[in-house]
């Protein structure tokens, strides 16, 4: 079973953004699966680094679309992006420093962070752009 399952409510109605959302979900689900198989700390840190890089680029695309559209929720949406990135960096540092990770806790956090962001900020963006 996947950690995060794609739902239509995650769509913002912009093909490039929706494709990246799906790819990010696949990457997060892949990490969760690897951790269930007892992935090494190095693998987890490297995959979290890849997730961070992909999410950073994705957020930059979303922010450009919001700026270009004159989106009134831009500031709050961008602030949530920054919060997610900061929290993810903290997790990467923690796993790297500790040399181990809490699979259940990490999976729960990834699901909560991204599903919550999709359901709130991205859902509102979809309503405004749609």
CATH code of domain 8-129? 1.20.120.50
Averaged pLDDT, groups of 10, the chain, 130 residues long: 78 84 90 88 92 93 92 94 92 87 82 82 80
Task: Please state at what angle helix 15-36 crosses helix 41-69, rounded to 10 degrees.
Answer: 160
Angle, CA 61 vertex, CA 123 and CA 120 arms, to 5°: 15
pTM here is 0.86
What is the rounded distance in angstroms from the CA atom of residue 28 to the CA atom of residue 107?
8
Please state, in angstroms and rounded to a whole number, the distance separating the CA atoms of residues 75 and 78: 5
Instruction: Output b/e per residue, 19-39; b: 16+ Cβ within 10 A.
Output: ebbeebbebbbebbeebeeeb
């Amino acid at each position: 079973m996947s950690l995060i399952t794609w739902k239509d409510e995650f769509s913002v109605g912009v093909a490039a953004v929706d494709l990246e959302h799906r790819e990010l979900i696949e990457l997060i689900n892949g990490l969760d699966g690897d951790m269930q198989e007892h992935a090494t700390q190095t693998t987890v840190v490297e995959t979290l680094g890849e997730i961070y890089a992909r999410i950073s680029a994705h957020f930059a695309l979303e922010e450009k679309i919001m700026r270009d559209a004159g989106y009134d929720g831009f500031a709050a949406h961008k602030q949530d992006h920054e919060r997610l990135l900061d929290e993810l960096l903290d997790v990467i540092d923690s796993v790297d420093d500790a040399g181990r990770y809490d699979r259940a806790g990490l999976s729960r956090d990834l699901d909560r962070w991204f599903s919550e962001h999709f359901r709130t900020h991205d859902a509102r963006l979809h309503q405004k752009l749609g």
